[in-house]
């Protein structure tokens, strides 16, 4: 196929625009030969308008790009991350899918199929989903409920199933965010996250969804600097990580589509044009510039200049074009699909109900001695839309059960007023990621310490209990949507909560008869040990980190846990080693290193003393030894 250089570079970009006017998208294609378009809520008013827009985009693409259709993409993950609000089914998001997967193993495939069919009918042929990140860091500000789980094996299965559901219905699935965005504590929309993990550590967790044959024909790299693997280039621009690790070592042959190049993580490291050239040379196929026309033009012109000067070789461009055209041959074809929105919504409701999780305790009867306090919905991150559903859990439950209620803002309310309102009552408390919001955390802590019966509803992640005593009842719904709240009400009215916790919310590991740790210093130290057990740790060092003497910490530790410091740290390390032996094929010495043991012989000796078998024997027979 004969293309001009301008048309070739256009195929290697995906751009957005600011209006609901389809002619603005047509103009980008006509004047600049952009080959792909990304849409946001700002572009969509209805399903009918969206269908008209996608038809106009494809007509322009065929006319001005030598008969090559466009990829038309958006983020329709489900739950609170979606761009289309009307004319499509409201389906559970990823973490809710993870919670429902215990009862319905097919849930991810079914949700992927629903989303794929409905998008395809509207002219969308690329969905920037599934999220294949492992949410190992509870304090992650951008992934959270967008991840299926903190268990890499479960994420691998569910991401694979979700992608298969999309692609069987003619929509390109895009795994994101390679290598993994689940363990950062900085939002890459705002700054460049750094992760200092070895390849062995990444192979044991973040890379598990990418190690085997994946169902997705596209991958989106993260704007994250993995400084042990490449200390200069973030993944999205790194030849070592895209060409070297993803393509050559892991054998990936599909498309690589960038996250938006306007994100501050990348702009703080490079100029946009410079970053785009690095990315294309690293085998990035499609560079995304989602918002600003000036920046889109800058990237396009710099790529053209690099191609003309030889800074990007012709062979690199031709290889990318080959991959792009191969994918378009599959996913831009029309597909006859038969489905009904009512049937799709019935499935979505079934899976949503199955995701509601009783994490601890028992649901108490709701009567006139019960009050409800809840955070109103809000824009939780820049990944969500300004069109987030306007929800008020306190008002909804108050009116549903005819009980008194108080609605609170997520970051601005008077704790004492709420405590007085709740005094002497049973309390239903709806929180949203209170572990990240001090005032919510203070409210929860005060209610628990007042010895009142509290039914905690975690409206987003289940991490509200981190570092806190457990309530009388803890229910998790994983997203603040009309669908999840309707499912919650069914459970409160007697339906069984059948979901499982898809992420680890323990702040401590309880061994032997130890069931509760009341001393706040020891709680903090245990949290520190669980986060840092791979490092070389000593009682003196940890004591200094927590501003206490080593002797005082030693006495407190023994009193609270019935173990000394070294015994407890060893048990954390052995517990992690067991997990790695069960879920990975890492060599024994690699498991030892990842678990904090510098000597494999010592690791084997300690493991056998505690577990009763060698690590190899345990791997082969772990069900027996547990």
The domain over range 520-625 is classified in CATH as 1.10.3370.10: no
Find, among 625, 615, 613, 609, the residue nearest to 594 by Cα: 615
CA 88 to CA 344: how far, in whole Å?
9
Residue 121 has, within 13 A of its CA and on its CB side, a CA count of 17
Of the listed ranges 195-209, 500-514, 555-569, the least confidently predicted one is 500-514
CA max distance for the chain: 78
239's tokens: 């030849």
Find, among 218, 216, 311, the residue nearest to 259 by Cα: 218
Q: Which residue has the higher pLDDT, 109 or 82?
A: 109
Contact in structure between 182 and 94 (CB atoms under 8 Å): no
Q: How confident is the model at residue 191 (pLDDT cuts 50, 70, 90)?
A: low
| Fold that domain 357-476 belongs to in CATH | Rossmann fold (3.40.50)
DSSP string, 247-275: IIIS---SEEEEEETTSHHHHTTS-HHHH
Residues of the chain with CATH 1.10.10.60: 520-625
Helix (H, G, I), strand (E, B) or coil at 225: strand
| Fold that domain 10-341 belongs to in CATH | TIM Barrel (3.20.20)
| Section 336-364 average pLDDT | 93
pLDDT in tens, 281-302: 999 999 999 999 999 999 999 9
Find, among 219, 236, 226, 187, the residue nearest to 203 by Cα: 226
Q: In this model, does residue 248 exceed pLDDT 90?
A: yes
Token look-up 């990829």 returns 71
pLDDT in tens, 477-487: 999 999 999 99
Q: Is residue 259 annotated as part of the catalytic site, yes or no?
A: yes
Structural Rg of the chain based on CA atoms: 26
Helix (H, G, I), strand (E, B) or coil at 91: coil
106's tokens: 């097919």
Residues of the chain with CATH 3.20.20.300: 10-341
Find, among 130, 320, 344, the residue nearest to 242 by Cα: 320
Q: Of these residues, 75, 183, 217, 259, which one is catalytic?
A: 259
pLDDT of res. 623: 43
Q: Is residue 504 annotated as part of the catalytic site, yes or no?
A: no
CA 479 to CA 485: how far, in whole Å?
9
pLDDT of res. 52: 97
Q: Which residue has the higher pLDDT, 139 or 37?
A: 37
pLDDT over 70 percentage in the chain? 92
Q: Which residue has the higher pLDDT, 579 or 419?
A: 419
Q: Of these residues, 24, 189, 194, 469, which one is catalytic?
A: 189
Q: What is the DSSP letter of 244?
A: I
Contact in structure between 246 and 252 (CB atoms under 8 Å): yes
460's tokens: 């987003």
Residues of the chain with CATH 3.40.50: 357-476
Helix 272-281 × helix 314-331 angle, to 10° = 80
Q: Which residue has the higher pLDDT, 561 or 220?
A: 220
Q: What is the DSSP letter of 245?
A: I
């Amino acid at each position: 196929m004969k293309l001009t250089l301008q048309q070739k570079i256009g195929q290697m970009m995906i751009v957005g625009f600011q209006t609901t006017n389809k002619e603005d998208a047509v103009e980008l294609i006509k004047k600049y030969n952009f080959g792909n378009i990304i849409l946001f809520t700002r572009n969509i008013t209805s399903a009918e308008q969206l269908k008209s827009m996608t038809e106009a985009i494809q007509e322009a693409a065929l006319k001005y790009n030598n008969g090559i259709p466009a990829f038309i993409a958006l983020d329709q993950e489900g739950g609170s991350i979606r761009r289309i609000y009307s004319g499509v089914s409201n389906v559970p998001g990823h973490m809710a899918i993870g919670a429902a997967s215990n009862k319905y193993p097919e849930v991810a495939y079914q949700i992927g199929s629903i989303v794929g069919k409905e998008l395809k009918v509207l002219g969308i042929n690329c969905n920037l989903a599934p999220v294949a990140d492992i949410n190992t860091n509870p304090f992650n500000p951008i992934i959270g409920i967008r991840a299926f789980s903190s268990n890499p094996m479960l994420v691998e299965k569910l991401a694979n199933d979700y992608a298969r559901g999309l692609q069987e219905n003619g929509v390109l699935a895009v795994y994101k965010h390679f290598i993994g965005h689940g363990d950062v504590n900085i939002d890459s929309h705002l700054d460049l996250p750094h992760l200092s993990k070895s390849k062995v550590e990444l192979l044991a967790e973040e890379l598990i969804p990418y190690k085997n044959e994946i169902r997705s024909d596209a991958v989106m790299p993260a704007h994250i600097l993995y400084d042990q693997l490449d200390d200069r280039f973030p993944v999205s621009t790194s030849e070592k990580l895209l060409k070297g690790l993803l393509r050559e070592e892991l054998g990936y042959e599909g498309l690589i589509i960038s996250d938006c190049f306007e994100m501050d993580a990348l702009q703080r490291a490079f100029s946009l044009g410079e970053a785009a050239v690095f990315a294309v040379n690293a085998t990035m196929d499609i560079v995304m510039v989602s918002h600003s026309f000036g920046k889109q033009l800058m990237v396009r012109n710099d790529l053209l200049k690099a191609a003309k000067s030889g800074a990007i070789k012709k062979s690199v461009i031709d290889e990318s074009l080959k991959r792009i055209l191969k994918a378009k041959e599959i996913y831009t074809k029309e597909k006859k699909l038969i489905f009904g929105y009512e049937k799709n919504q019935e499935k979505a409701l079934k899976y949503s109900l199955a995701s509601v999780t009783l994490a601890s305790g028992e649901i108490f009867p709701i009567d006139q001695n019960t009050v409800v306090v809840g955070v109103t919905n809000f824009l939780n991150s820049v990944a969500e839309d300004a069109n987030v559903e306007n929800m008020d859990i306190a008002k909804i439950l108050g009116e549903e059960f005819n009980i008194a209620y108080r609605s609170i803002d997520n970051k601005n309310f008077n704790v004492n007023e709420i405590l007085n309102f709740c005094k002497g009552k049973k309390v239903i408390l709806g929180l949203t990621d209170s572990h990240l919001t001090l005032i919510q955390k203070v409210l929860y802590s005060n209610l628990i310490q007042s010895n009142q019966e509290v039914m905690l509803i975690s409206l987003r992640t289940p991490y509200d209990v981190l570092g806190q005593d457990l309530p009388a009842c803890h229910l998790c719904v994983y997203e603040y949507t009309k669908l999840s709240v309707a499912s919650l009400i069914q459970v409160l009215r007697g339906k069984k909560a059948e979901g499982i916790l898809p992420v680890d919310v323990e702040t401590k590991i309880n061994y032997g008869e130890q069931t509760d740790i009341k001393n706040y210093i020891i709680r903090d130290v245990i949290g520190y040990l669980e986060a840092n057990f791979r490092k070389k740790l000593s009682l003196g060092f940890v004591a200094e980190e927590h501003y206490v003497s080593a002797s005082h910490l030693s006495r407190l530790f023994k009193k609270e846990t019935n173990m000394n410091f070294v015994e407890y740290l060893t048990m954390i390390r052995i517990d992690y080693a067991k997990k790695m032996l069960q879920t990975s094929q890492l060599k024994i010495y690699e498991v030892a290193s990842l678990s904090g043991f510098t000597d494999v012989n010592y690791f084997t000796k300690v493991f056998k003393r505690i577990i009763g078998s060698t690590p190899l024997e345990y791997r082969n027979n772990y069900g027996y030894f547990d």
